[in-house]
Structure 1
Amino acid sequence: MKPVKLYRPTLDGFLHTVAIRRNWLEESLFGTCSSSQSRFMTTSKRVQDRSKTKRVHDLEIATEKWKIASKVLFLMEILKKEPEMIIPVRSLEQYRRQINLPKPHKISDFVRKSPKLFELYKDRRGFLWCGMTKTAEDLVEEEERLVKEHEDKAAEYVTRFLMMSVDKRIALDKISHFRRDFGLPVDFRTEWVHMYPQNFKLVKNGEGNQYLELADWNPAWAITELEKKVMGINGVTDQTPGLLSLPFPLKFPPNYKKVYRHGGKIEHFQKRSYLSPYADARGLRAGSLEFDKRAVAVMHELLSFTVEKRLITTDHLTHFRRELVMPQKLMRLLLKHCGIFYVSERGKRFSVFLTEAYEGSELKEKGPWVLWKEKVQSLTGYRGKKKRFECFSDASDMEEDDGLVESDSEIESISLELEEEESASGLEDGLSTDDAEMEIGEVRSAYKEDV
């Protein structure tokens, strides 16, 4: 009997087999692709690792400044929902994650840090209760007045948000993540959404999920904030949204040297035309230069709507990839365009800033909402510790093109048409956790690169 001769494939044969299988998989998922589009996997590092050496000291200070204020505002919202604006301290245990207070730290100790805003007292049975001081109650009344004064503008921003979406409707749970950023009232899910039937309406799909749907297109609102600023357009216009050629304001960190090395490519990016955020973008090819620049325009417009010209916990932005026709690797796009946006990872949350709106660590233009929030901040018992931030540095292990505003985008691993709808988080009505601090591990898993 002859011995069986085992077949040992060579390295070239093995690589050839892998290439055939990869091409078959790509064609079965996406159809026939050109050679420039066939790469859908990446060996790049996680965007969190790539951005650690790209910190701007002033904007990190701005991030730290509001960390405690956000926790205090969340606690004030909880108390506002109570009939007498008091609550047993033990009932606050369920909100530990939202205020990022891990055990063994006590809720009562956190409350005692701000005696000008909160009071603690025991009842006859010895149970500890928490309530607001007269100063805090006055601040709550002032906030309610601001909501009334701002509600028409907030309705405009929400309407324009819907106008930028593909289907002209967005899940209500998704909008709730940005409630504070847009200056919406606590009861916006139950009461406020019905106050502007001329702008939008509440609808349900077959599964009972609630959506906010555009009721009427307003051409006067289909003008970007950048157009208003650069071209001075403020009146009613019948012009249909289309291609724009407006350059974005750039503000690089003072010690960022790559701007001189790649000035030509930056200028080329600025001159490239792009589709208006309010135009129909379904025809754009994911990964194209036009696709990416429109995504920059959408993010610029969204940040212009916000109270502080920044969005907190940017992982929520990934929920809008399909509605707003955005890249799957949105965080990478924000990091790449560091002259327009700044991404902060301080603490256990992610924030994205519109850099042009800041001078140092302060907003250039502070509206009533920001001034009110500064009042709350001044009354908290936390003054923070001096921290040494690792600032922006060109000496990093990132790819050469990371500082550029122009590079070949990676092909989406899942096409926009086939992307599954993100499951909406179960938030309580009126009590939004949009400022809840996310664990870094959770956000990293959301943005982890394929290898």
Structure 2
Amino acid sequence: MQSLRRRLPSIPHPSLPLHRNFVDARIPWVRDRALDHVVEKERYLLPFLSLKDHFLSSSPSPPHSLPLSSITPLKSQLSLPCRAVEFVRLFPSAFTETLPAPPLPPVPEIRPTEELLSLHEEELQAVALSDSDVADRLLKLLMLSPSRRLPLRLVERLRWDLGLPGDFVRSVLPKYPDYFCTSASKSKHGELDLEVVFYRRDLAVSAMESYAKRTGEYKTGSPLAFPLHFPRNFKLDKKVRTWLDQWQKLPYLSPYESGSHLKPKSDLAEKWVVSVFHEALSLLIGKKTEKSNLVLLGEKLGLPPGFKRAILQHPGIFYVSNKLRTETVVLREGYRRHLLVEKHPVMDVRYRYVHLMHKGKPAGTRGEKKKTASVDEETDAQFDDLDVEDREFDDYGGDEEEEDDDEEESDDDNYGDIEVCDSVSKGLLGLKVLEGR
């Protein structure tokens, strides 16, 4: 293994302060409905694919049918949002319910449709073709760590976002013995770490540096500004804007270099932290992940105290969506409105799954949504009840702006209605609508 990361030389700029000159600025939070839709449209996708995989593994031979009674107890096993039978019946274009021919007993059977099976084959091909690409992404993620290792449990949490298959420990890691190895954790007894075997210097180039080198002359350590994409109606205080302009002109420190020599809570340290999060999100095929995953990653990478605020202090770089009862951090430059700028083959197949999930909805579905409690409305209410200091950002923007955004998003993908299986719906199997018009 090559030696651990070298220390970057200090590159002060004579006209710019390296310490914070606008301390703990409060940055407003403005809802971005396009990026909220990015998060919302994958609702139920993971349990849907888990159920699909269960069908194909439990009944590997065509027609892959299973008795209705056999899928009933699968709710907790597959993390389904409602009873397995009800969940299956939400997707008539993906699963069909039939009765076996006599003399077999008339026990209903569920089987995947030909369209679902066809998509499954395309998914397998996409995963196989992107195998080396995903391995490089995983290697780069490990290379961000000063110790060149991360807990295997954390990697498993990021598996979906990295595009790794569910059995990646058995199917991917053995193919790259020169990249990865597992070893006993140094911090937790009984835990395993995933470790870098060979540090590839040619991969230790961040997305920011790579873009700068492609578009112009760039010298390591020179100032490099992050692309900023503010939402509509976003207003920034003049003092904050001045601070941001100066912060952008600070030297760019690669996330693959050590920032341990930087003074904590300095502007330069914050720019390095932002570069680490920017690179981590760039490595994910969907350019987003739950905020809790980024926080755990930051802790394991040894980022300086207060690193979480860097996510919220830079809304032009990161967007934090509170949809689906969680906080999801989205890399703004990865999207043009609700569409990925660079669509990974695995993401392309996932979006086609989403489209299939919303096809063939039964008549009357749209009308039922008014009778059903909206989980998203309840979630927004919960966030509104939280103290602003706890959330670390302000809800900035009103209903009038959201109505305008609704009209603007009328060209969204044709995703039909999907109903929310949730206890707050008082027993009704309702739908929270992701309307594609």
TM-score greater than 0.5 by the shorter chain: yes
Q: Distance in 2 between matches of 1:181 and 1:227?
A: 22
Find 1:172's aligned residue among 141, 152, 160: 152
- TM-score (ref. length: structure 1): 0.67
**TM-superposition CA deviations, 1:133-192 (whole Å, max 9, x none):** 222122111111111110111111111111110210111121111212211122201231
Find 1:269's aligned residue among 240, 247, 250: 247
1:366 paired to 2:343: yes
Q: Secondary structure at the match of 2:169?
A: coil
Q: Secondary structure at the match of 1:114?
A: coil
State the partner residue of 1:110: 87
1:294 paired to 2:272: yes
Q: Distance in 1 between matches of 2:215 and 2:145?
A: 22
State the partner residue of 1:318: 295
Find 1:163's aligned residue among 127, 143, 158: 143
State the partner residue of 1:58: 34
Q: Distance in 1 between matches of 2:153 and 2:91?
A: 31
Question: Which segments of 5 or more consecutive residues in structure 1 lack a partner in the other structure?
Answer: 1-35, 37-41, 391-396, 404-436, 438-451
1:338 paired to 2:315: yes
Deviates more, 1:113-122 or 1:188-197: 113-122
- TM-score (ref. length: structure 2): 0.69
Deviates more, 1:67-76 or 1:80-89: 80-89
Q: Secondary structure at the match of 2:265?
A: coil
Q: Give the letter aligned to residue 65 of structure 1.
A: K
Q: Give the letter aligned to residue 229 of structure 1.
A: Y
Q: Secondary structure at the match of 1:256?
A: coil
**TM-superposition CA deviations, 1:256-283 (whole Å, max 9, x none):** 1116563211111101124311112333
Q: Give the letter aligned to residue 99 of structure 1.
A: L
For the pair shown, the structure with the greater C-alpha radius of gyration is 1
Q: Residue 120 of structure 1 contacts residue 131 of structure 1 at CA under 8 Å; is this kept in 2?
A: yes
Q: Give the letter aligned to residue 323 of structure 2.
A: R
Find 2:333's aligned residue among 356, 379, 385: 356
Task: Indicate the RMSD between aligned Cα atoms, in angstroms.
Answer: 3.7
Q: Give the letter aligned to residue 119 of structure 2.
A: L
Find 2:175's aligned residue among 183, 195, 198: 195
Find 2:224's aligned residue among 246, 264, 274: 246
Find 2:80's aligned residue among 88, 99, 121: 99
Find 1:376's aligned residue among 344, 350, 353: 353
Q: Secondary structure at the match of 1:342?
A: strand
Q: Secondary structure at the match of 1:94?
A: coil
Q: Distance in 1 between matches of 2:130 and 2:55?
A: 23
Note closer, same or farther for the CA distance 1:294–1:86 as it changes in structure 2 (3 Å cut): farther
Q: Distance in 2 between matches of 1:195 and 1:125?
A: 47
1:69 paired to 2:45: yes
State the partner residue of 1:219: 201
Q: Secondary structure at the match of 2:248?
A: helix
Q: Residue 61 of structure 1 contacts residue 361 of structure 1 at CA under 8 Å; is this kept in 2?
A: yes
Q: Distance in 1 between matches of 2:73 and 2:129?
A: 33
Q: Give the letter aligned to residue 69 of structure 1.
A: L
Aligned length, in residue pairs: 342
Identity %: 26
Q: Distance in 1 between matches of 2:306 and 2:51?
A: 34
Q: Secondary structure at the match of 2:168?
A: coil
Note closer, same or farther for the CA distance 1:232–1:92 as it changes in structure 2 (3 Å cut): same
Q: Give the letter aligned to residue 92 of structure 1.
A: L
Task: Give the CA deviation at 1:308.
Answer: 1.8
Q: Distance in 1 between matches of 2:230 and 2:131?
A: 34
Note closer, same or farther for the CA distance 1:69–1:276 as it changes in structure 2 (3 Å cut): same
State the partner residue of 2:434: none
Q: Distance in 1 between matches of 2:317 and 2:110?
A: 43
Q: Residue 166 of structure 1 contacts residue 281 of structure 1 at CA under 8 Å; is this kept in 2?
A: no
State the partner residue of 1:209: 191
Q: Distance in 2 between matches of 1:327 and 1:60?
A: 29
State the partner residue of 1:257: 235
Task: Give the CA deviation at 1:366.
Answer: 2.5
Q: Secondary structure at the match of 2:170?
A: coil
Q: Secondary structure at the match of 2:155?
A: helix
Q: Secondary structure at the match of 2:330?
A: strand
Find 1:149's aligned residue among 118, 129, 144: 129
Q: Residue 65 of structure 2 contacts residue 112 of structure 2 at CA under 8 Å; is this kept in 1?
A: yes
Find 2:259's aligned residue among 281, 285, 309: 281
Note closer, same or farther for the CA distance 1:332–1:75 as it changes in structure 2 (3 Å cut): farther
Q: Distance in 1 between matches of 2:393 and 2:211?
A: 29
Q: Give the letter aligned to residue 187 of structure 1.
A: D
Q: Residue 318 of structure 1 contacts residue 328 of structure 1 at CA under 8 Å; is this kept in 2?
A: no
Note closer, same or farther for the CA distance 1:224–1:133 as it changes in structure 2 (3 Å cut): same
Q: Give the letter aligned to residue 250 of structure 2.
A: R
